[in-house]
Amino acid sequence: SDLEDLHLYATPREQRFRRFASLEFEGQLYMTPYDFIQAVTSDEPKRKQEFYIDKIARADELNQILMETPPVWKGSSKLFRNLNEKGVISYTEYLFLLCILTKPHAGFRIAFNMFDTDGNEMVDKKEFLVLQEIFRKKNEKRERKGDEEKRAMLRLQLYGYHTSTNSVLKAEGEDLVPRSYWDTLRRSTSQALFSDLAERADDISSSLSDTTLLVHFFGKKGKAELNFEDFYRFMDNLQTEVLEIEFLSYSNGMNTISEEDFAHILLRYTNVENTSSYLENLRCTIPEEKGITFEEFRSFFQFLNNLEDFTIAMQMYNFASRSIGQDEFKRAVYVATGVKLSPHLVNTVFKIFDVDRDDQLSYKEFIGIMKDRLNRGFR
């Protein structure tokens, strides 16, 4: 009952992490790689939580789990699937991985530079651990008011620490503007702030248990450094792995999924209440099933990660009183994002969202729904 009470003090992201996390060490909850994949591709965990929280009693047990972690140069788009239950992911790393899933490839360099505080084109463990502190301090501002003892228990579960600290991130009026964790990271990476947090990084490191990501990036001794090529490959592999899992869950071993299955995946985690009207629209307008390949599927989600730039291009068409047909849509996608969508994929998207069947897209409705889908329900 105490655990259920804590749910009332948790944000939606915290609730989801707690629901899927299956490991506990020294009072702190962790996800396995399998848990993380489940959390971003499934609505509910496959197992009931009260039966599967596995308590790790000793540090050597934790180290035994981490022995399975390959070095970053051996990473692949099957990393999380191969590790399965042999790994630990903290709550702040869960937030970081969620950020990666929504970022365009062009943003990978920006992400790397945010960690590379000394500008030597390499990121070390100490620089990366500043991420922990930034996300942790952002959480303190978001904490729901109430029983201090319960909130302290929640902090211990998520961050492994007992008491709140004074936030160095808080600025005048900042609480009035809700920001994503990515925005917080970007806004919080001035040299001055990093210097302040980096001073504490040694303390953080000494009190922090190693995790799968830390071992993957910086080796079992924590002395290795991460270069941009390996960082880029890790981010690209993670995006690909999650998309492969979603695609394979519908493809049944085939090279394509049906247009209707594509619509199902697209409308998951969105604010669309009545998906049946969209699916019926698709059935009526594309009676002959041709199928969506994985390359088409992947290209669409690469486009979604560039949705902000695409929105600007679409608004330019709108302000010029131009309707958005399939040719304009395809051209706007390419100009804004550099992604070429196949004619069949564009036609399928139009048939899903073109409810009045005039072969024109209501860009406001489309973008609103896609923003929800991009952030997997955590917009």
pLDDT by residue for the chain (379 residues), tens only, comes to 455 567 777 788 888 898 899 999 988 999 999 999 999 988 888 875 555 678 887 888 888 899 989 999 999 999 999 999 999 999 999 988 988 888 888 888 888 887 887 888 999 998 888 877 777 776 666 666 666 777 788 888 888 864 444 433 333 334 434 456 556 555 555 444 444 555 555 555 555 678 999 999 999 999 999 999 999 999 999 999 999 999 999 998 899 999 999 998 888 878 777 788 788 878 888 877 889 999 999 999 999 998 888 888 777 766 656 668 888 889 888 988 888 999 999 999 988 887 777 788 777 778 888 888 887 766 5
Phi-psi region of 109 (alpha: psi -120 to 50; beta: other; left: phi over 0): alpha
- 137 is a domain residue: yes
Distance, CA of 97 to CA of 88 (rounded, Å): 13
Are both 263 and 210 inside the same structural domain?
no
In the prediction, which pLDDT does 2 show?
52
Backbone torsions φ then ψ of 79, nearest 5 degrees: -55, -55
Determine, yes or no, domain membership for 310. yes
Same domain, 6 and 82: yes
The amino acid at residue 329 is: F
Q: Whose structure tokens read 């390996």?
A: 230
| Cα separation, 331 vs 137, whole angstroms | 42
Residue 245: which region, alpha, beta or left (left: phi > 0; alpha: psi -120 to 50)? Answer: alpha
* Same structural domain, 110 and 51: yes
Same domain (yes/no): 280, 341: yes
110 with 32, same domain?
yes
* Listed residues 207, 238, 269: the one ending a domain: 238
pTM (2 decimals)? 0.83
Whether residues 28 and 132 share a domain: the answer is yes
Which SS3 state, helix, strand or coil, does residue 268 take?
A: coil
245 located within any domain: no
* Parent domain of 73: 2-238
Model pLDDT, residue 361: 79
Orientation of helix 12-20 relative to helix 91-101, angle to 10°: 110
**Token pair listed for 229:** 């090529």
Q: Among 238, 270, 286, give the residue marking a domain's end.
A: 238
Same domain, 260 and 232: no
Are residue 266 and residue 299 in the same domain, yes or no? yes
CA 361/CA 325 separation, integer angstroms: 7
Quote the pLDDT of residue 213. 95
Q: What is the pLDDT of residue 139?
A: 64
Query: Which residue reads 């049906």 in tokens?
Result: 258
The encoded tokens of residue 331 equal: 């051209």
Asked if 37 and 161 sit in the same domain, the reply is yes
Q: How many domains does the chain have?
A: 2
The Cα–Cα gap between 77 and 270 comes to 26
* 87 lies in the same domain as 179: yes
Within this chain, do residues 227 and 266 fall inside the same structural domain, yes or no? Answer: no
Last residue of a domain, one of 214, 238, 262: 238
Tokens found for residue 283:
């059935």
Strands ordered across the beta sheet of 23-25: 28-30, 23-25, 54-56
The answer to the question of residue 20 being in a domain is yes
Residue 64 lies in a domain: yes
Burial 210-223 (b: 16+ CB within 10 A, else e): bbbbbbbbbbeeee
- pLDDT at position 311: 84
Closest listed residue to residue 98, CA positions, set 155, 13, 22, 28: 13
Q: Which long-range contacts (CB under 8 A, 24 or more apart) does 187-192 make?
A: 188/134, 189/114, 189/117, 191/117
Residues 106 and 133 in one domain: yes
* Helix/strand/coil for 250: helix
Residue 93 confidence (pLDDT): 92
Chain centre to alpha carbon of residue 185: 14
**Domain assignment present for 79:** yes
Residue 107 lies in a domain: yes
Q: How many CB atoms are closer than 10 A to CB 329? A: 22
Is residue 51 a contact partner of residue 209, using CB atoms and an 8 Å limit? Answer: no
pLDDT of amino acid 316: 76
Residue 243 lies in a domain: no
Whole-angstrom distance, CA of residue 15 vs CA of residue 29: 12
